[in-house]
Amino acid sequence: MRNDQNIVDFVRYTLGCRCPDEVFDQIECRNGDSQTNIYTRSITLGGRLLIYIWETNDSSIVEAGLPAMLVSGKNERDRRGLNRLRVVIATDDVDHIGSIAQRLFRDLSDKDERVHLHVVHMHDVANLI
């Protein structure tokens, strides 16, 4: 069973999002389809914020898949008329995976100021959905 307060706490305190309270009135969660999506889960808040959560410890998969996931998320954000995209990589190796992810994110030319990348520890996403 989903605990919406865990989602609110994650978004506010782990991701540092200063969303107004009314954004949390509508929370939509989906599991990713391993055949069509690279992300593990997605959360949409208040028709404004799209969050992709990707759980992985494999740096080669991050290198291969992160650019496509960022582009896909940006396209979904725009298609749905949402304000922001936050891509979250949850891993047990935050330093190593984070270094790779930040380099890829920095070098991605097809992003804008409404796309954000976060690398967090796997336990930070354990109780979201």
Domain-located, residue 43: yes
- Whether residue 4 contacts residue 27, with contact meaning beta carbons closer than 8 Å, is answered with yes
Question: What is the total count of domains within the chain?
Answer: 1
- How far, rounded to the nearest angstrom, does the alpha carbon of residue 54 sit from its chain's CA centroid? 7
Per-residue pLDDT tens digits of the chain, which is 129 residues long: 567 999 999 999 999 998 899 999 999 998 876 666 677 899 999 999 999 999 999 999 999 999 989 988 999 999 999 999 999 999 999 999 999 999 999 998 888 999 999 999 999 998 886
Domain-located, residue 60: yes
Domain-located, residue 129: no
CATH number at residue 17: 3.40.1350
Burial label for 56, CB within 10 Å (0-12, 13-18, 19+), is buried
